[in-house]
Amino acid sequence: QKEVEQNSGPLSVPEGAIASLNCTYSDRVSQSFFWYRQYSGKSPELIMSIYSNGDKEDGRFTAQLNKASQYVSLLIRDSQPSDSATYLCAVGVRGTSYGKLTFGQGTILTVHP
């Protein structure tokens, strides 16, 4: 089993809909979780970080963390064509002062008008 797995894509949603991206991780003691967005040909950019159970909202983005079930998700409300990108989930590995990050393989999101 991969350490960090994301729901296989690509994911296609209509403009204005909610896009739901999911990520599961295998290390039960992981403490830090991140969502990055990567446009084609560009570098990843951080959009959300979450460290404790529950929801964290930032504008149209909501990150949800459930450590008991070992998953973290990203909801994008009112999806826009500009949200079309690859979304990467990253998990901070225990015992390394969070220096070691493991990324999922990414989920390609397409928002169509």
45 binds other proteins (CB under 8 A): yes
- Minimum Å gap between C-beta 15 and other proteins is 27
Could you say which residues in the range 51-110 bind other proteins, by CB under 8 A? 51, 88, 90, 92, 96-106
Q: How many CB atoms lie within 10 A of CB 26?
A: 13
- Minimum Å gap between C-beta 102 and other proteins is 7
- Minimum Å gap between C-beta 66 and other proteins is 19
Tokens at 103, concatenated: 């990324």
Among 31, 53, 66, 80, binds other proteins (CB under 8 A): 31
32 binds other proteins (CB under 8 A): yes
Question: Could you tell me which of 29, 8, 18, 13 has the C-alpha nearest to residue 89?
Answer: 8
Give the largest Cα separation in the chain, rounded: 45
What is the Cα–Cα distance from 84 to 43, expressed in whole angstroms? 14
106 vs 109, which CB is nearer to other proteins? Answer: 106
Q: What is the dihedral of CA 68, 71, 72, 75, to 10 degrees?
A: -110
Which residues contact other proteins by CB under 8 A? 31-32, 34, 42-46, 49, 51, 88, 90, 92, 96-106
